[in-house]
Homo-oligomer: A and B are copies of this chain.
Amino acid sequence: MALRIVVVGGGAAGIGAAGAAHQIDPDATVTVYTEFEDVGYSPCGIPYVHGKEIATFDNLFLQGKEFYKNSGLDIHYESKVTGVDPGNARVNVEGEGDVAYDKLVVATGFDYRDPGVPGTDLEGLYYVKNIRRAMEWDKVLDTVKKAVVIEASPLGLEMVTALAHRGIETHLVDPHPWALAEVGDPDIMKPVMDSWDELGVKQHYNTRLEGFLGEGKIRAIKTNNGELECDLAVICTHKVPNNRLAGEAGLDIGSTGGVVVDQRMATSSAGIFAAGDCAELPHGITKIPIQGLSGSHAYSQGKVAGANSAGGDRIYQPVYVPWGMVAGKWMIGGVSFGETLATALGIPFVMGVAQGISRARYYPEMKPVRVKLLAEPGTLKLIGAQMVGGEGIKERADFLAVAVKTGVTLEDLAWMENVYSPPIGALNEPIAIAAQNGLSSLKS
């Protein structure tokens, strides 16, 4: 009898899992349940449609429903899985009843952390997630004069930039002393914050949200620094694992709220795998479980979970988390952790910083590239990095993540060769200068 594989969730992890399962065992029946109307689109693109960088939401769809049908996947749209019964190997699906599985992949994704203040039932609170809702909200944005973005999270940074680009009076409210404070170092974030100033964004740091005010519809937010009028609040609180189903089914839940998985993406319950934003995974250096990574991580994890659910034997390795994004007029990015987080975690480090350039100093559109490298004292192995600049940040972050993972040292980076060609690279690569400065700091 064909193996019955059930996937709960139609995001990057769920679709990755379903595709990989089908590839490993083409005879298996692979059924995906999603609460939403669509799969196969890029939610990460939503802020850029709002910001008018991308012309239409249609562009975000990679594949239509026919494609998945023809690929051998049975996707049930707008289908809510209300429970998992591991003992009897069944899921309960609203409107379908009990559905038996041989293997299950939980890919239930994330929720935005509840703001935990009064007034969340008002109209005018936008949680960026589903593309159909985003299409509706995009029409609302045409009428919005004044918007507040709640928290300078990665999505918050994107939404602030998008709303400002759209010409809406945009306020950013965040309880920390600077933007993206739990990830980004202040010197990395300063250019971003300066460029928001130039865009007219009003930034309110050290400001705690205390409530949403209004009658039926939002009129203002209440903070420890007073009220702030607005037509719209975009809720960009932390992403927390959607662990409801997994928790109720008795799967082990970890310290982050994510489903605990081993390196095969297998949960504590035999035959059940988990992947994506609902799961937690060890950080390669600290071994501390982390969650809330990128769509690329979710997709890769899904592929491992799906392959293994179909009888494969794939490993998902600890993560070093290269990250990068556009915020204001800059690109920011890094790997693992920066100075602030390493200090907070009590991780000792040697640091090298350089303010370099992306092309020959005289070449048009040359951009600054600031690089901070953190290395383990003694071995000088790279353990983290942060960058802000005008180009090449994503590629450098990818590079440095492999460098961290494979044990590359400041010495290796200080004397690295680099491409020198006026339109694309400067005489001295900023990463190399930062590494040299790190080595110099040891001598003084």
Which residues of A does B touch, CB under 8 Å? 12, 42, 44-45, 48, 53-54, 59-60, 62, 294-297, 299-300, 317, 319-326, 331, 333, 360-364, 391-399, 401-403, 405-408, 412-413, 415-425, 427-429, 431
Contact = CB atoms under 8 A, between A and B. Distances in A.
Contacts of A323: 419
A423 B48 contact: yes
Contacts of A415: 300, 317
A363 B54 contact: yes
Contacts of A421: 44, 294, 324-326, 394
Given A45-B422, A363-B45, A395 B399 contact: yes
Given A54-B363, A326-B424, A412-B402, A333 B419 contact: yes
Cβ-closest 8 pairs across A and B = A395-B395, A296-B420, A399-B399, A324-B419, A394-B425, A59-B362, A394-B424, A394-B419
A416 B395 contact: no
23 contacts: A44-B360, A48-B423, A53-B363, A54-B362, A54-B364, A295-B427, A296-B417, A296-B420, A296-B428, A299-B427, A322-B419, A325-B421, A325-B424, A331-B424, A393-B424, A394-B421, A395-B399, A398-B416, A398-B419, A402-B403, A402-B408, A402-B416, A406-B408
A271 to B, nearest CB: 25
A392 B393 CA distance: 9
A412 B406 contact: yes
Contacts of A360: 42, 44-45
Contacts of A424: 324-326, 331, 393-394
A417 B395 contact: no
Contacts of A403: 402
A414 to B, nearest CB: 11
A420 B294 contact: yes
A252 to B, nearest CB: 24
Given A363-B48, A424-B326, A413 B402 contact: yes
Q: Which of A397, A398, A420 has the most CB of B within 10 A?
A: A420
A361 B401 CA distance: 23
Nearest to A424: B394
A326 B423 CA distance: 7
Contacts of A396: 395, 399
Residue picked from A44, A60, A361, A424, most chain B C-beta under 10 Å = A424
A417 B405 CA distance: 10
Given A53-B363, A363-B54, A397 B422 contact: no
Contacts of A401: 416-418
Contacts of A392: 392, 394-395
A67 to B, nearest CB: 15
Contacts of A59: 362
Nearest to A297: B417
Contacts of A408: 402, 406
Given A296-B418, A395-B399, A421-B44, A361 B325 contact: no
